[in-house]
Amino acid sequence: MTVVNILIAAVALGLMGLLFGLLLMGTEKVFAIPADEKRDAVRAALPGANCGACGYPGCDGCADAIACGKAPVNVCPVGGKPVADKISAIMGNAEAADAVRKVASVICQGDSEHCKEKFEYRGMQDCVAASVVNDGNKACKFACLGLGTCARVCPFDAIHVDPVKKIAVVDDEKCVACGKCVAICPKGVLSLRPVTEDVTVRCRNTEPAKKVLSACSTGCIHCGKCFRSCPHGAITMTNGLPVIDQSKCQHCMACADACPTKAMWANFDKRKVSA
């Protein structure tokens, strides 16, 4: 093969490469999907936590849902109202409606002071693993095991386990209601509640009163005193446990005063006294 033949082959390959490159450029322009500027703007406004608390797979999925109208502008619990207002402006809506902020809540007061132990657990320091061993070491099968699995999955450092009382504690200021702690808890001890709820039931035990008290001194014994003491008809009893209708609750805290085991938790700083 002569030098001329080699040069001809090289030039031919170069021209073919150029031709294919031009064809690809043309194809890209013909079949290109226009960038959704609104979607990109929504994505930029989101905090980028990718926690999934909105119910979509990360912030990209959330932005897609908002941009195509499948999700409200205030669907992101992490960003709160400031982010909702930004997205509302991007979407051409009026100012976003106020959404009631939620936080994780520990539906248990069965700490080491109040709840007995069936045995000393020496296994892996993980609630999921511990719950497999005879349903956990707590005498109450509904109790928080206090091994910190919820704290370890929290991306916002909003949960810790009290080192003395051995029970999960939520920092309302840091919690963004992403729900990861709720999903991981093997006992179902955690739930999301509106931060405005100042009276809540902190026990899920549906067993007979005698069995409840034999395990935990602060468990609900289903006596109904909270139900009978509420002057606003805000409490009903379901499966032996009080259920509070927050729309009727006037924060008089009479139910918490009446509860003999203090299973009814109340923020007494918010007590409202009738004139």
CATH number, domain 101-196: 3.30.70.20
Residues linked to residue 124 through DSSP beta bridges, in sequence order: none
Mean pLDDT of the residues in the chain: 88
Residue 35 CA, distance from chain mean position: 32
Model confidence band, residue 273 (pLDDT cutoffs 50, 70, 90): low
Domain extent listing, the chain: 37-90, 101-196, 199-275
Is the predicted pLDDT of residue 236 greater than 60, yes or no?
yes
Q: Which helix (H) or strand (E) holds 200?
A: strand 199-201
Comparing CA positions, the residue from 256, 187, 263, 255 lying closest to residue 221 is 263
Quote the percentage of the chain above a pLDDT of 70: 93
pTM of the full predicted structure?
0.73
Q: What is the pLDDT of residue 94?
A: 60
Average pLDDT score over residue span 104-123: 95
The domains spanning 101-196 and 199-275 adopt the same CATH topology: yes
- Residue pLDDT, tens place only, 108-117: 999 999 999 9
Residue 213 vs residue 269, higher pLDDT? 213
Q: Can you name the CATH fold of 199-275?
A: Alpha-Beta Plaits (3.30.70)
Cα–Cα distance between 57 and 196 in angstroms, integer?
A: 28
Cα–Cα distance between 199 and 148 in angstroms, integer?
A: 25
Comparing CA positions, the residue from 230, 232, 239, 214 lying closest to residue 264 is 230
Is the predicted pLDDT of residue 55 greater than 60, yes or no?
yes
- Residue pLDDT, tens place only, 149-185: 999 999 999 999 999 999 999 999 999 888 899 999 9
> Are 193 and 213 contacting, i.e. CB atoms less than 8 angstroms apart?
no
* CATH class for the domain made up of 37-90: mainly alpha
In degrees and rounded to multiples of 5, residue 90 shows phi and psi of -65, -40
Residues linked to residue 216 through DSSP beta bridges, in sequence order: 115
Cα–Cα distance between 241 and 239 in angstroms, integer?
A: 6
